[in-house]
Amino acid sequence: MTFRKACRWSLYLVFTLALSLPLTGCSGEDKKAAPDPQAATPMKVIKAENRDMPYWGEFVGQINAVETVDVRARVAGFLLEKKFREGAKVNKDELLFLIDPKPLQEDLKQVQSGLEYNQALLVKAEKDFKRFQKLYDEGVVSRDEFEGYQTQTATLKAQVRDNAAQVENARIQLGYTKIYSPIDGVIGSVQVDIGNLVGQGENTLLVTISTVDPVYVSFSVSESDYLRAQRNKHVKKATENGEVKIILADGGEYEYAGIFDMVDRAVDPRTGTLGIRVKFPNPNQLLRPGQYAKVRVLIDMLKDAVVIPTRGVMDVQGMKSLYVVGEDGTVRNQPVKLRFEVRDLVVVTEGLKTGDMVIVDGIRRVKAGMEVKPIVVPMNKSDGQPVSMDNSTPDNATSNDTTDEKTAENTEEKAG
């Protein structure tokens, strides 16, 4: 073998041995093994729970006074005085207005004079009747003459009764010149200025008074909501105990609860709704007639309903579904039927049972059929507040669970 061939074989052997040696880093540390693409992805899930779920309906209602009275002039005359401050509270039988009484005082004097005149005639007629009755009994006067005095006495008695009625009516009319408050309440603005002629040909509206404590709130509900509430004994008991609330125009909830006062006798065939009236206390006079408010009424109460967070529901052309993780860690798209939502929770009536594991966050990165390692987190914290599924830790998690949860967070961040 020549020297050149010997060198070639030596280089070939050295190169072959070098390739057969294990690769190591310059620092001597082993490189981390590459992740297994078949390994299950850690994923946070919640378990469906049973809870008592109240369903509160909201309806637009209008506030009305329990009593509203229009104060009108009942006799004709010039308005002389106003005895109150507009917008103030007035008491029943408090003097409000004074109409010029002089014309009616003169009318009273006139009918009183007529009464007194006929009363005097009646006294004389009764004396004459008694005298002629005695003469008639003795046969001194004729029957026709006696009956004439009898008729005259009866006629004067009727005239006296008529005069007495006229006097009483004149006194009543004179009394209408002083106008008193018919109820306790808040009085509005005056509709006629002092000095104007009122009551001429019509009963002129002077002012309106409304009671303010308590007040009515009237609204309408659909037939289905009415039937649902009536059939649920828990709802009937709650409403009887005064669990009706209203939300005012500023978004704040009124501090006092109301009680049902009246349900209308029939459903309006034009709208398919039923009128309902609720009575609310109003000691601070915060509520005023004519205001609008949202009425919150307990419509339904589901005991031990299956619930999950609303954000886990997918809606594709009206079909509702969830990503449910099976015992083997496989994700499936589960169609469900829903009932109603309460804040951030929704009631599931079909397709889900208590304890099923549901993915509620990161559902856009999830596909049916993929394998995940479920990490169960509570639906609520110990204080009852909703858990943020992005950065929460299970209340009773072990150290391994915490490590898996961090891994899940890192995996989700990389996937995003």
Give the CATH number of domain 56-66+212-302; options: 3.40.1180.10, 2.40.30.170, 2.40.30.10, 1.10.3720.10: 2.40.30.170
pLDDT at 359: 87
What average pLDDT score do residues 365-393 get? 65
Q: How confident is the prediction for the chain on average, in pLDDT? A: 78
| Of 125-129, 230-234, 248-252, 270-274, the least confident | 230-234
29-38, 127-136, 191-200, 204-213: range with lowest mean pLDDT: 29-38
pLDDT (0 to 100) of residue 64: 94
Q: Note the pLDDT of residue 66.
A: 93
DSSP 206: E
Range name among 62-66, 76-80, 110-114, 259-263 with the lowest pLDDT average: 259-263
Q: Is the pLDDT of residue 385 over 80?
A: no
Per-residue pLDDT at 48: 87
pLDDT value at residue 355: 86
The type of residue at 204 is T
What CATH topology corresponds to 41-53+304-388?
Answer: 2.40.420
Cβ of 25: how many Cβ atoms within 10 Å?
8
Please give the Cα distance from 381 to 43 (Å, whole number): 19
Domain edges within the chain = 41-53+304-388, 56-66+212-302, 75-210
Cβ partners under 8 Å of residue 48, min gap 6: 306, 307, 308, 348, 352, 353, 354, 355, 356, 358
* Environment class of 400 (CB within 10 Å of its CB; exposed 0-12, middle 13-18, buried 19+): exposed
DSSP of 340-370, one letter per residue?
EEETTEEEEEES--TT-EEE-SSGGG--TT-
Beta carbons of 302 and 339 less than 8 angstroms apart = yes
Exposure of 55 by Cβ count < 10 A (0-12 exposed, 13-18 middle, 19+ buried)? buried
**Residue 330 neighbours by CB distance under 10 Å:** 14
Cα–Cα distance for residue pair 267/230, rounded to 1 Å: 15
Q: What is the pLDDT of residue 2?
A: 53
Higher pLDDT, 350 or 406: 350
b or e along 158-171 (b: 16 or more beta carbons within 10 Å of the residue's beta carbon)? ebbeebbebbeebe
pLDDT tens track for 116-162: 888 888 888 878 777 767 776 767 667 777 677 778 888 888 988 99
Alpha helices in 88-222 (DSSP H): 102-138, 143-175
CA gap 216, 62 in Å, rounded: 8
Q: How far apart are CA 249 and CA 287, in angstroms?
A: 11
pLDDT digits (tens, 9 = 90+) for 322-341: 888 888 888 888 898 888 77
Provide the CATH number for the domain formed by 75-210 in this structure: 2.40.50.100
Is pTM beyond 0.85 here? no
